[in-house]
Structure 1
Amino acid sequence: MQLDLFSHVAAAYADAKVCLDNETLYSEVSRRAGLSNDELNARTPIGEAGALRSVVKRKIRWHQQELKAMGVITRHERGIWGLTEKVTEDLDRAKSGVKLVAFSTDLGVAVWGACRDVFGGLEQQIALCVTSPPYPLRIPRAYGNPSESEYTDFICRSFEPIIKNLMPGASVCINLSNDIFLPGVPARSLYLERLTIALCDRFGLYKMDMIPWVNLSKPPAPIAWASKKRVQLNTGYEPVLWLTNDPHKVRSNNRRVLEEHSERHKALLARGGEQRTAEYGDGAYKLRPGSFGGMTEGRIPKNVLMRGHVCRDGAQYKEDAERLGLPSHGAAFPLAIPDFLIRFLSEPEDLVVDPFGGTIKVGMAAERLGRRWMVSEWILQYIRASAERFRIFPGYWLNPMMAAM
C-alpha cells in the first residue's frame, strides 16, 4: 500500500498540467488508488494526545515530502506544489539539483536530471563518454538548446565533471552538427573549431580525430542555401569529435572493430597477393609481388562511419513512446554510432557515460556490449519511454514514479 501510494502521488504530479494544492492532490491520489471518500477521510487517533487525523492523507503528505527531498517537486506557495520546469506543454525538464534514478539494470543506470547535477558527485573512473548534445540551432527543438554564442561555455560546463573523472587514456566522443551557418550568410560557423580548441585548452584534452558520420539518406538541407539559393550542396554527414586526455595511453584498439575483407581482397588473398611490381607517388608507395597476400583477421575500418539514421532500436523506442502516450524524441542518433565507438574505444566492464541521454542509445549499446554505463537525461518523458526497451536485461528496475506515468 505504501509503495503504491508513493507511485500514485508521483504520478499525480507527473500528469498535472498545473500545480496542485493539497486537497486536489488528495482527491487525485484517492482516485488513482481506488479509495472511497470514507477511506480517504477516515480518522484515527494519532500521538499521545489522540488527535483524530486521516492516516491516508498523512501518508500522502509524507510521500509529497519525499519528492520534495529528491528535488522532484517545488513549493510555489503555501500548500501548492508543482513538478519540474516546463519546456513545452508536453515536456517536463528536471529542475536544478534533481537527481532521480529513473531505471537501472545490473550493468547501468539512467538518471533523470541535468548532467552537471548527476555527474558532479561521481567518484568512479570513466573510460569513455559518447554523446550527442543539443545543437546550437536558431530554431530550437522541443527540448530546447543553447544559442551559438553560449554553446562553447555550455558544453565545457556540462563536460567538466565528466572530464575530471576520466581514467588515463579515456576518450570523449561528441556528435555535433556541421550545418550551423552565419546569420543570413551561406557560410558555415566556426563554432566547431572554437569548441574543439576550448575543450583542449581548458581541460588539457587532445584531438584524436574528427570522424565524419556519413548518412546519405539525410533529408535535403540546408534548404535556404542548397534548395533555394543553390549556392551550397546538400549535407551528407555530421562530425564526431574524438578527444582523449592521454594520447600515449589511449584505450582505442582497431582490432575490436575489424571488418570483413571485401570480395576483391579475398580474391587477392587467394592469388597469394599482388603479382606485380609498381611505384606510385614518386616512390612513396611501392607494390611488390606478394604484397597484401598475408591472411589477417579483417580489414581496418576507414575513419568514416557510413551509417543511416534509421534503426530497429529507434523504431522500438517510438513504438513504446506511442503506447505510453508520451511525446518522442525528434533527433536521436542510430544505435550503430555508439555501438562502433564503444567497441573501438573501451573494453568489457569499462564505465561508459552519456550526459545527454536522449533515448538512452549509449546505455543500450553499452548494455549489449557488456560495459557498465551511466546516463543522464533531463526530459522526463524521454527517459520514461526509453526505459521500456531495457526490460529484457538482468536486474531491470523501474522507479515507481516512472512506472506510474
Structure 2
Amino acid sequence: MSAVPTQLQLFAAVAAAYADAAGGRLDNEGLYIAAGDRAGVPEGERRGRRPVGTSAQPRNLFHRAVRWHQQTLKHMGVLRRVPGERGVWELADRTGSGLHRALPGVRLVAFSTTLGVAIWGDCIDTFERLDSPITLCITSPPYCLSVPRSYGNPKEADYTDFIVASLKPIVRHLVPGGSICLNLGQDIFLPNSPARSMVNERVLLALHDRLGLKLLDRLVWHNGSKPPAPTHWASVKRVQLNATYEFIYWLSPSPELVHADNRRVLQPHTKKHRRLIDAGGERRDAVYGDGAYHVRPGSFSNPTTGKIPRNVLQYGGRCADTLRYRRDAAALRLPAHGATMPLSVPDFLIRFLSEPGDIIADPFGGTVKTGIAAERLGRRWMVTEHMLDFLRPAAERFRDFDGFSMPDDVEVWPCKAA
C-alpha cells in the first residue's frame, strides 16, 4: 500500500479495525494504531500536527480523517458509542448471528441502476416517504417460525401487526388496480402439537379489515425440491405429511381494476393439445358433472398462442441466480441469505401483474430477487432490506445493468486488511 492512502483505503482500514477487534469494540487510541497499521500510514504522519484554519491551530490530520470515517460508519448504522466510556465505539446493533441491521432512522442507498434502487433501512419509514405510485408489491417477509433464522422474525403474537404495519405505506401508494403478492411460510405449528397455526389466516383477515385488501387468489408455489418437513411431525412422529408448497396470497384494494393479463404469461401447448387442434378439436359430445361441463364436437379446435397457466407455480428452490448470489457472498466473506426464492417466481408475477415502466416494490428485499426480475423485464423497482450483509453481495449481480452505482462507503464494506 502506498505511503499516502486514499480515502477509500483509509475508510476500509477504519472499518476493518472494528471488524477484527475483540467484541467489535475499540477506544480511539487503539483505533488510530490499528487503522494506521492497516493503511500503511508512516509513524510521523500519524503523530504530526499541522496548522489548520484561519487560527492556524496545530491539528493531527490523520486523527481527524480517522474520526471522519468513524462518523460515516456511525451514520451507516455500523458503529455506536459505548455508553459511559469516553472515546470508545463498537459495532452497532448486530443480530445474534452478527448481521448488521439498520438502526431506526437510517436510510442508505446500497446501490442503484437507471431503473431501480435498493435501500438499506426500515421499510415503513422508507415507503412512507415515497411519492411515486406502485403497481405491484412482491414480498416474502420473515416467516413466523418458532426457531428464527439468522435475521430473526417476530413472534406469532406480534406477527399480524408486523405484516399490516409493513404493508400499510405500500398499500397507500398503490395505483388503482395495483396488487400485493405476499409469500408466507406454511410450516408454523401450535406449541407441542402437529396442528398448524392459523396465523396466516389471521394476517389475511387483518389485511382485509384494516387495509381494505381483497383476496384475488391463493397461488400455490409448489417446490418439489423442498427439504422434508415438518421434520418432527413427519419424520419422527409420523403423523404429518411432508410439505412441498407455500401460498402466495394475491391481494388488491380494487380487484375490478386489477392490472392482470394472463396473455402475458401464456405457456406452450402440450404436444397432445396441439394434435387435438390439428385434428379439428373434440369429436365427443358428452356431459360431465351432472351438466356442469359439456364437451361438444369441435371444441378446442381454434388455434391459440398458448395455454392459460394454472394457479399452481411449479418452481424448484434452486436457480442460477441464487447460486451466483452465494458465490458473490462467499467472495466478499459475508453470510449468504438462508431463505431465497427462485427468480422464476417474481419473474412470473411481474409479467402477469404489471407492464414495462411500472414500479415494483419489495419491503423485505433479501437478495433482491424482485429487483433483478424487474430490471430484466424493464420495470422500475424499489426494495428495502434491514441487513446490509445481504444487500452488499446482491449488488454484484446488478453491475452490468445500465446506470449501476454504489456509494463508496458500501463498495468497500465489509473491509478486511490487505
With normalisation by structure 2, the TM-score equals: 0.92
Q: Deviations over 1:195-247 (max 9, x none)?
A: 00001110111111111101122111111211122211110101111111111
- What is aligned with 1:44? 50
What is the alpha-carbon distance in structure 2 between the residues aligned to residue 160 and residue 347 of structure 1? 23
What is the alpha-carbon distance in structure 1 between the residues aligned to residue 391 and residue 232 of structure 2? 34
What is the alpha-carbon distance in structure 2 between the residues aligned to residue 15 and residue 91 of structure 1? 15
- What is aligned with 1:374? 382
**Native 8 Å contact 2:97 2:150 kept in 1:** no
**Native 8 Å contact 2:356 2:379 kept in 1:** yes
The question of 1:233 aligning with 2:237 is answered no
The question of 1:261 aligning with 2:269 is answered yes
The question of 1:398 aligning with 2:406 is answered yes
Q: Deviations over 1:235-285 (max 9, x none)?
A: 010111111111111111111110001111100111111122111122221
The 1:6–1:122 alpha-carbon spacing in structure 2 relative to 1, beyond 3 Å, is farther
What is the alpha-carbon distance in structure 1 between the residues aligned to residue 19 and residue 367 of structure 2? 19
What is the alpha-carbon distance in structure 1 between the residues aligned to residue 397 and residue 33 of structure 2? 33
Q: Secondary structure at the match of 2:24?
A: coil
Cα offset, 1:14, TM superposition: 5.7
What is the alpha-carbon distance in structure 2 between the residues aligned to residue 26 and residue 89 of structure 1? 28
Further displaced range: 252-261 or 281-290: 281-290
**Native 8 Å contact 2:76 2:102 kept in 1:** no
What is the alpha-carbon distance in structure 2 between the residues aligned to residue 11 and residue 107 of structure 1? 33
Q: Secondary structure at the match of 1:45?
A: strand
**Unaligned stretches of 5+ residues in structure 2:** 1-5
What is the alpha-carbon distance in structure 2 between the residues aligned to residue 161 and residue 10 of structure 1? 34
What is the alpha-carbon distance in structure 2 between the residues aligned to residue 141 and residue 70 of structure 1? 24
**Unaligned stretches of 5+ residues in structure 1:** none
The 1:255–1:274 alpha-carbon spacing in structure 2 relative to 1, beyond 3 Å, is same
What is the alpha-carbon distance in structure 1 between the residues aligned to residue 74 and residue 203 of structure 2? 37
The 1:352–1:11 alpha-carbon spacing in structure 2 relative to 1, beyond 3 Å, is farther
What is the alpha-carbon distance in structure 1 between the residues aligned to residue 303 and residue 138 of structure 2? 33
- What is aligned with 2:106? 98
Q: Secondary structure at the match of 1:82?
A: strand
> Which amino acid is 2:397 matched to?
R
**Native 8 Å contact 1:7 1:403 kept in 2:** no
**Native 8 Å contact 1:101 1:111 kept in 2:** yes
The 1:8–1:109 alpha-carbon spacing in structure 2 relative to 1, beyond 3 Å, is farther
Which of residues 48, 58, 81 is equivalent to 2:64? 58
Cα offset, 1:331, TM superposition: 1.0
Cα offset, 1:6, TM superposition: 4.2
The question of 1:149 aligning with 2:157 is answered yes
Cα offset, 1:394, TM superposition: 1.3
**Native 8 Å contact 2:78 2:100 kept in 1:** no
What is the alpha-carbon distance in structure 2 between the residues aligned to residue 153 and residue 401 of structure 1? 34
- What is aligned with 1:35? 41
With normalisation by structure 1, the TM-score equals: 0.95
- What is aligned with 1:74? 80
The 1:99–1:72 alpha-carbon spacing in structure 2 relative to 1, beyond 3 Å, is farther
What is the alpha-carbon distance in structure 2 between the residues aligned to residue 72 and residue 97 of structure 1? 13
Which of residues 157, 160, 167 is equivalent to 1:159? 167
> Which amino acid is 1:248 matched to?
E
What is the alpha-carbon distance in structure 2 between the residues aligned to residue 273 and residue 124 of structure 1? 49
Q: Deviations over 1:13-52 (max 9, x none)?
A: 5665423322233333333433222223331101233211
Further displaced range: 380-389 or 234-243: 380-389
Q: Secondary structure at the match of 2:394?
A: helix
> Which amino acid is 1:177 matched to?
G
What is the alpha-carbon distance in structure 2 between the residues aligned to residue 64 and residue 109 of structure 1? 26
The question of 1:110 aligning with 2:115 is answered no
RMSD: 1.8
- What is aligned with 1:356? 364
The 1:108–1:28 alpha-carbon spacing in structure 2 relative to 1, beyond 3 Å, is farther
The 1:83–1:399 alpha-carbon spacing in structure 2 relative to 1, beyond 3 Å, is farther
What is the alpha-carbon distance in structure 2 between the residues aligned to residue 374 and residue 31 of structure 1? 40
| Percent identity of equivalent pairs | 55
Q: Secondary structure at the match of 2:143?
A: coil
Q: Secondary structure at the match of 2:96?
A: coil
**Native 8 Å contact 2:75 2:106 kept in 1:** no
Q: Secondary structure at the match of 1:398?
A: coil
- What is aligned with 1:205? 213
Further displaced range: 307-316 or 102-111: 102-111
Q: Deviations over 1:80-126 (max 9, x none)?
A: 23343111343121111111111111111111112123223111111
**Native 8 Å contact 1:7 1:400 kept in 2:** no
What is the alpha-carbon distance in structure 2 between the residues aligned to residue 168 and residue 90 of structure 1? 41
Q: Secondary structure at the match of 2:297?
A: coil
What is the alpha-carbon distance in structure 2 between the residues aligned to residue 34 and residue 387 of structure 1? 29
Further displaced range: 26-35 or 205-214: 26-35
What is the alpha-carbon distance in structure 2 between the residues aligned to residue 341 and residue 373 of structure 1? 14
Q: Secondary structure at the match of 2:256?
A: coil
What is the number of residues matched between the two proteins?
Answer: 405
The question of 1:285 aligning with 2:293 is answered yes
What is the alpha-carbon distance in structure 1 between the residues aligned to residue 390 and residue 335 of structure 2? 8
The question of 1:177 aligning with 2:185 is answered yes
Cα offset, 1:11, TM superposition: 5.2
Further displaced range: 71-80 or 339-348: 71-80
**Native 8 Å contact 2:223 2:317 kept in 1:** yes
Q: Deviations over 1:50-71 (max 9, x none)?
A: 2111123223323333444455
Cα offset, 1:324, TM superposition: 1.3
Q: Secondary structure at the match of 2:146?
A: coil
What is the alpha-carbon distance in structure 1 between the residues aligned to residue 128 and residue 90 of structure 2? 25
